């Protein structure tokens, strides 16, 4: 268990031995600012097993209010697994076991009694590959409000759909074809539609799993702008393989390596002055 | 046929290896083409035989007879009541009219031969004519009546004509009448509506598929109502909910095995369990439908599981991440996308069930049921069983009926398969 204390210069001095590799360590002490004041989401000692294989080792990490937290690291390091712990999407994977404490606004969610449906209405998710439902644009956005009973009369639903599309910056492009199939949109538009779909139920947290990896640079830029806008209202965690993207959109960055959380830091600091050797290697492209 | 290859490259001859490879390629293609051709030829031959021997069943030969509804012949008063008319011996009315029309036929056995030119149904036809229109009494009418099957077979050329009298279905005298009537325009052929409406009969010219079609439809309805919901529910459970462990593996293997069990075994099961243990009524569409649904279930389950598996997991993830419950995810997203595949599989399963004979024979759906069944608890026949029974019959008139019934069942099968294609095209959605 890591001592919970705000990072300070004093504590930083204690990390004299730089972590070079995690292979020989059972437990890796995370370095940096993994905790924040009044966290939106706080994770303590989260471990994940897929069957016999352990995928995450004792992760301690907070998501602050109105912040974008970037999760970086080489493929298979557990970023996505960690992300999926927060809305319990790991429940859908057979043989997956999540241990530890995960609290949203102080309420424990990693517990069999916790209601997954209401959790997922509070924690939206955007996937790597745009996955609009094969229905109309309108029905895609309206699906969440409908199943959560957020909409009353029809015109209210219209308003919700319009607001969500406007927030996602898609309204102007699709307002005249709301009832055409969503699968007819371009990849970037589909991804923004998925973001609009996620925010239509008014969540508190949005999890993004490499949302731009299937998009071209222009569409990526639009999504990044959007993420920056959304920060005003939501807490966002984004998994990305692009160091530049992490640097552009996030306030804090967490570096995962082989299931361990190696380092968490304020993004600017982390990219200019990583404290762990592993982080430095990854960021500078020597590894990963 | 050198598509994709050329014999020479840049003017240089190909190496022997290359030539051999190309030859092997061509040979392989020819073998495949031959296989396809053989299969097509057999299908065409099959269809051709069935059609050529069955199409004639769709029309029937009629003879004209002059009937004098003489009250004296009918033994009724000149203004008879309906009751009186019901008591009339119409067979004797018919015979006496024949005697009047053909006074030259004196011999008793000759007279019988003459009456045998006509269908056994003639007295019934006369009765229904008179009952529906009593004013006919006292009038003379020319009435078109069905010929007997033997006369019709000769007329259609389905039975040999130029052989010795003993082996022919008509006597020389009967043959003369037939030719004479044909010459005098006393014969005509009409479309055989009766084939689609009436039930089986001892006389081929009166037999129809109506009862069998209704029986098959009711049986299939029961099959559909049982096997479709159960099959889809089982597939959803196995695909979406069941944990992947040894038990579900055993279930899966056994479902696949069930699909290969000979259908007569299902019939035996129905006989032993449904009839003997539960005492359900024998030979009814209810029992037939239950047995056929047992047979169809594995097909539907396997097809439905494949269709569910083909729905991309990203759709499930998307719905679950929106906070949809697993059931909402399935019913709002997965099932609609899987529906085309599920429907196709189900219809193909039902088409199999439509052609299934053995299990229906086991549970007693082979009885001679003259009436059209009015519900699933009535004794009924079914199309394949009717075909089987007609094929067994020795009378020549049943040959064309058998072929025609096969044509009808083929039409139903083609129709069901077209429906499957149509539904797949209609509900198919891209993602």
Q: How far apart are CA B382 and CA B218, in angstroms?
A: 9
Q: Which residues does chain A have within 8 Å of residue B325's beta carbon, measured at their own beta carbons?
A: 117
Average pLDDT of the segment spanning A61-71 = 93
Count up the domains in chain A and report the number: 1
How near does any CA of chain A get to the CA of B330, in Å? 13
CB contact under 8 A, B323 and A117: yes
Which pLDDT band, with edges at 50, 70 and 90, does A97 fall under?
A: very high
Question: In the prediction, which pLDDT does B41 show?
Answer: 97
- Residue B429 — pLDDT band, cuts 50, 70, 90? low
pLDDT band for position A6 (50/70/90)?
A: very low
* Average confidence (pLDDT) over B289-316: 94
Q: What is the arithmetic mean of pLDDT over A162-182?
A: 91
Task: Report ipTM (2 d.p.).
Answer: 0.86
Q: How confident is the model at residue B233 (pLDDT cuts 50, 70, 90)?
A: very high
Domain holding A89, by residue range, is: 28-113+239-288
Q: Within its chain, how far is the Cα of A279 from the centroid?
A: 20
Q: What is the pLDDT of residues B379-428, one digit of tens each?
A: 888 999 999 999 988 888 899 999 999 999 999 999 999 998 998 888 87
From chain B, the residues in CB contact with A120 under 8 A are: 320-323
Give the pLDDT confidence of A23-56 residue by residue, as tens digits.
555 556 788 888 888 899 999 999 999 989 999 9
Mean model confidence pLDDT for chain B: 90
pLDDT of residue A82: 94
Confidence of residue A20 (pLDDT cuts 50, 70, 90): low
- How far apart are the C-alpha atoms of B47 and B34, rounded to whole Å? 20
Distance CA A118, CA B50 (A): 64
Confidence of residue B80 (pLDDT cuts 50, 70, 90): confident
Contact B324 A129 (CB under 8 A): no
> Closest Cα to residue B150, out of B123, B122, B170, B167?
B170
Pick from A118, A124, A127: CB nearest B317:
A127
Provide the pLDDT confidence category of residue A5 given band limits of 50, 70 and 90.
very low
Q: Answer with the residue of higher pLDDT: B126 or B10.
A: B126
**How many angstroms separate the CA atoms of B17 and B7, rounded?**
12
CATH for the stretch B210-427: 1.10.3720.10
CATH code (residue A266): 3.40.50.300
Nearest CA in chain B to A200: B322
For residue B384, give the nearest of B252, B268, B265, B213 by alpha carbon: B213
Chain B residues inside the 8 Å CB shell of A194: 318
pLDDT score for B49? 94
Are A131 and B429 a contacting pair at CB < 8 A? Answer: no
Share of chain A above pLDDT 70, in %: 89
Q: Are A263 and A30 in contact (CB under 8 A)?
A: yes
Could you give the CA distance from residue B262 to residue A185 in angstroms, rounded to a whole number?
50
- Does A32 fall in a domain? yes
Q: Tell me which of A44-48, A151-155, A269-273, B214-218 is least confident.
A: A151-155
pLDDT at B73 (0 to 100): 86
**Better-scored residue on pLDDT, B2 or B141:** B141
The secondary structure element, H or E, covering residue B212 is: helix B210-236
Domain boundaries, chain B: 8-55, 58-197, 210-427
In a domain, A79, yes or no: yes
A8-15's contacts with Cβ under 8 Å and 24+ in sequence apart are: A12/A275, A15/A275
Contact list in A for residue B324 (CB cut-off 8 A) is: 117, 143, 147
What pLDDT is recorded for position A278? 86
């Amino acid at each position: 268990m890591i001592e919970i204390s705000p990072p300070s210069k004093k504590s930083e001095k204690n990390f004299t031995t730089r972590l070079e590799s995690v292979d020989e360590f059972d437990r890796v002490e995370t370095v940096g600012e993994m905790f924040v004041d009044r966290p939106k989401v706080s994770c303590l000692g989260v471990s994940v097993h897929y069957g016999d294989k352990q995928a995450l080792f004792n992760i301690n990490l907070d998501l602050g209010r109105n912040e974008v937290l970037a999760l970086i690291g080489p493929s298979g390091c557990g970023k996505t697994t960690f992300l999926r712990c927060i809305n319990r999407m790991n429940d859908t994977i057979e043989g997956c076991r999540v241990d530890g404490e995960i609290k949203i606004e102080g309420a424990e969610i990693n517990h069999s009694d916790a209601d997954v449906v209401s959790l997922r209405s509070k924690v939206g998710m955007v996937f790597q590959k745009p996955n609009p439902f094969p229905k109309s644009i309108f029905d895609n956005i309206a699906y969440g409000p409908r199943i959560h009973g957020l909409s009353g009369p029809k015109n209210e639903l219209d308003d919700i759909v319009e607001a969500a599309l406007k927030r996602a910056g898609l309204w102007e492009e699709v307002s005249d074809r709301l009832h055409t199939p969503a699968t007819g949109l371009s990849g970037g538009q589909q991804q923004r539609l998925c973001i609009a779909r996620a925010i239509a139920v008014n969540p508190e947290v949005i999890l993004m799993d490499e949302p731009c990896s299937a998009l071209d640079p222009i569409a990526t830029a639009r999504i990044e702008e959007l993420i920056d806008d959304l920060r005003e209202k939501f807490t966002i965690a984004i998994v990305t393989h692009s160091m530049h993207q992490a640097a552009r959109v996030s306030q804090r960055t967490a570096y995962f390596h082989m299931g361990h959380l190696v380092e968490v830091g304020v993004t600017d600091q982390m990219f200019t002055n990583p404290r762990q050797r592993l982080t430095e290697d990854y960021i500078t492209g020597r590894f990963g | 046929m050198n598509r994709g290859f050329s014999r020479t490259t840049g003017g240089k001859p190909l190496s022997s290896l290359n030539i051999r490879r190309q030859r092997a390629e061509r040979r392989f293609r020819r073998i495949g083409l031959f296989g396809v051709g053989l299969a097509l030829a057999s299908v065409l031959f099959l269809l051709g035989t069935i059609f050529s021997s069955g199409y004639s069943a769709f029309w029937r030969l009629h003879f004209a007879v002059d009937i004098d509804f003489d009250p004296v012949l009918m033994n009724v008063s000149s203004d008879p009541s309906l009751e009186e008319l019901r008591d009339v011996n119409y067979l004797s009315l018919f015979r006496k009219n024949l005697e009047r029309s053909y006074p030259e036929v004196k011999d008793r056995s000759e007279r019988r031969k003459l009456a045998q030119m006509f269908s056994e149904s003639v007295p019934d036809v006369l009765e229904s004519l008179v009952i529906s229109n009593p004013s006919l009494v006292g009038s003379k009418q020319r009435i078109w009546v069905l010929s007997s099957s033997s006369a019709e077979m000769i007329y259609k050329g389905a039975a040999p004509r130029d052989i010795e009298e003993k082996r022919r279905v008509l006597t020389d005298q009967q043959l003369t009448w037939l030719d004479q009537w044909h010459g005098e325009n006393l014969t005509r052929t009409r479309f055989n509506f009766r084939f689609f409406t009436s039930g089986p009969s001892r006389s081929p010219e009166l037999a129809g598929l109506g009862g069998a079609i209704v029986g098959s439809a009711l049986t299939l309805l029961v099959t559909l109502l049982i096997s479709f919901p159960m099959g889809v529910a089982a597939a959803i459970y196995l695909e979406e909910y069941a944990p992947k462990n040894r038990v579900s593996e055993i279930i899966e293997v056994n479902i696949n095995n069930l699909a290969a069990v000979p259908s007569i075994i299902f019939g035996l099961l129905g006989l032993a369990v449904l009839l003997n243990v539960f005492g359900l009524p024998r030979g009814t569409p209810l029992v037939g439908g239950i047995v056929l649904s047992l047979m169809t279930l594995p097909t539907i389950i396997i097809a439905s599981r494949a269709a569910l598996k083909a729905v991309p997991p990203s759709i499930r993830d998307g719905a679950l991440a929106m906070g949809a419950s697993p059931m909402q995810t399935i019913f709002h997203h997965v099932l609609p996308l899987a529906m085309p595949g599920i429907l196709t599989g189900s219809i193909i399963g039902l088409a199999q069930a439509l052609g299934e004979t053995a299990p229906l024979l086991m549970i007693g759906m082979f009885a001679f049921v003259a009436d059209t069944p009015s519900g699933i608890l009535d004794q009924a026949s079914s199309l394949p069983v009717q075909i089987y029974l007609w094929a067994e019959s020795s009378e020549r008139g049943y040959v064309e009926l058998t072929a025609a019934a096969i044509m009808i069942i083929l039409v139903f099968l083609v129709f069901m398969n077209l429906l499957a294609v149509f539904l797949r095209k209609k509900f198919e959605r891209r993602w």
